[in-house]
Chains A and B, each alone.
Chain A
Amino acid sequence: MAQNLKETILNPILKGNPITVLVLGICSALAVTVQLKGALVMALSVIVVTGVSSLICSLLRNTIPNRVRIIVQLVVVAMMVILVDQILKAGEGTYAIDKQLSVYIGLIITNCIVMGRIEAFALGNKPIPSLLDGLANGVGYGLILVIVAFFRELLGSGTLFGLQVLPSGYIPNNLVILPPFALILLGCIIWVHRAIDKDLQEN
C-alpha cells in the first residue's frame, strides 16, 4: 500500500507528467507563463482544484449515475473554481493577479487535467488516494508552468518575480513574451525530458 501511494504521488510529476507526457491542460499552461508570479498563482489554484474535486467526486463515485456523470463532474469542478476565483478576488495582493490571469482562472473548469483525473482515477478509487492523485497531478502541471515562466520572464524582461536579475545592459527579448515562443519553449522542454527518459519516445 505504501509503495502504491508513493507511486501515485511520484508518477504524475515525472513519468506521467500531465503536460509533457499526456499533453493535457496545455491552454492555460502557455497563456499564463509570461510572469513567474502569475504562473505560481495559477499552479496553486490548479493544485487545489484538482485535489479537492478529485476528493469530492471520489466520495460521490457510488451515487453518480453513469449517464450524467460528465455534468455532475463539471458542476463539482465549476463550484471549486468559483470558490478559488472569489478568494483570489478578495485577497489584497491577489486581486491584481486575478485581473491579469483574466479568463484563464475560469478556464480551469475545462482544463483537461481536472476532468481527466476524475474520469481516469477518482471514479474508481478510494477518496484518500484520489486526493493525493489530484494534488500530485496539479504539482506536475505547476512544475512545468513554473519552468516555462522562469525562462520567459528571465529572457523576456530580465526579471524574476518582478525583481531585476540580469544586468541593466540586457536588452529584453520581446519575442519571448509573445505567445508563439511559449509553444517552442514547451517543445524544447519535451525534447529534453524525452532525451533523458528514453521510454517516453514515440516511434
Chain B
Amino acid sequence: MEYISLFVKSIFVDNMIFAYFLGMCSYLAVSKNVKTANGLGLAVIFVLLCTLPINWVLNTFVLQPGALKWLGPQFAEVDLSFLSFIVFIAVIAAFVQLVEMIVEKFLPSLYSSLGIYLPLIAVNCAILGGSLFMQQRDFTGIGEPLVYALGSGIGWYLAIVALAAIREKLGYSNVPKPLKGIGITFITVGLMGMAFMTFMGIQL
C-alpha cells in the first residue's frame, strides 16, 4: 500500500517536470515530435531505474554519517556526505557510458533510434535530481528507491510525450511572431503544470 502511494505520488504530485523543473533542458529541446520524445522518455526511465538504487546503496553504506559502521567501530563517526555530489555524478556518467556500450553491441537497432539521446542523459538534471531527492528522503529498504525511480521516470515520460503531442499540433496555429517557438512552449508547459496541480493533496 505504501508503495502504491509513493508510486502515484511520484508520478503525479511530485512530477519531476511540473513540480521541480528537473530535466527541463532536454525536455524542451527534444519534444518537437512524439517519436523521439518517446525514445528519450524510455531511456530516462531506464537510467533512473538503474542509477537510483545504486546510489541509494552507496549512500546508505558509504556516504551517510556513520554509514561505515560495518567496517568496524572506529569508523562509526566518519561522515562522507560532502562527497555525495561527485560520487552520484560519477555513478551516473559511468553507468550511462556502460549502457551505451552494451546497447551498441547487442541491440544495434535500439541504439540507432536512441543513439544521440543516451549520452545526453548523463547531464539530465532529472537523473541527478532523483538521487539527491532520494538522499533527502531517507528511504528504508531497497524497495522504496526502486518504486520512486520508476514513478518519477514514468512521470517524466508522460510529461515529455504530452508536450511533444501538443507541440506537433501547435505548428498549425497562428502565434504572435516574437512568441513563436520557445516562448509559446514555455507558456504551454506552464498551463500543463497548472493542470497537473489538481493532483495535489491526493492521498492513497
Contacts and interface: CB of A to CB of B under 8 A. Distances in A.
Interface of A: 23-31, 70-71, 74-75, 78-79, 81-82, 85-86, 102-103, 106-107, 109-112, 115, 178-184, 186-188, 190-195, 198, 201-203
A112 to B, nearest CB: 5
Contact of B93 (A74, A106, A107, A184): A74
B25 A25 contact: yes
Contacts of A192: 178
Given A23-B29, A109-B89, 11 more contacts: A26-B24, A27-B23, A31-B21, A85-B82, A110-B123, A110-B129, A111-B125, A179-B20, A180-B18, A183-B193, A190-B183
Contacts of B129: 27, 103, 107, 110
A180 B197 contact: yes
B128 to A, nearest CB: 5
Contact of B187 (A70, A78, A184): A184
Main secondary structure of the interface of A (DSSP, over half): helix
A193 B82 CA distance: 40
A103 B21 contact: no
Contacts of B127: 110
B116 interface: no
A187 B89 contact: no
Given A107-B129, A110-B124, A187-B186, A78 B21 contact: no
B168 to A, nearest CB: 16
B19 interface: yes
B125 A179 contact: no
A31 B16 CA distance: 11
Contacts of B124: 110
Q: How large is the interface on B (under 10, 10 to 19, 20 to 34, 35 or more residues)?
A: 35 or more
Contacts of B103: none
Given A26-B24, A179-B21, A184-B190, A106 B132 contact: yes
- Of B119, B128, B178, B197, most A-chain CB atoms within 10 Å: B178
B179 A191 contact: yes
B21 A27 contact: yes
Contacts of A191: 176, 178-179, 183
A24 B182 contact: no
B177 interface: yes
Contacts of A26: 21, 24-25, 28
10 contacts: A27-B22, A27-B23, A30-B24, A71-B94, A82-B85, A85-B82, A107-B132, A180-B197, A201-B180, A203-B180
Interface in B8-32: 18-25, 28-29
8 closest A-B pairs by CB: A180-B193, A187-B186, A202-B181, A183-B190, A194-B178, A184-B190, A26-B24, A103-B132
A186 B182 CA distance: 10
B136 interface: yes
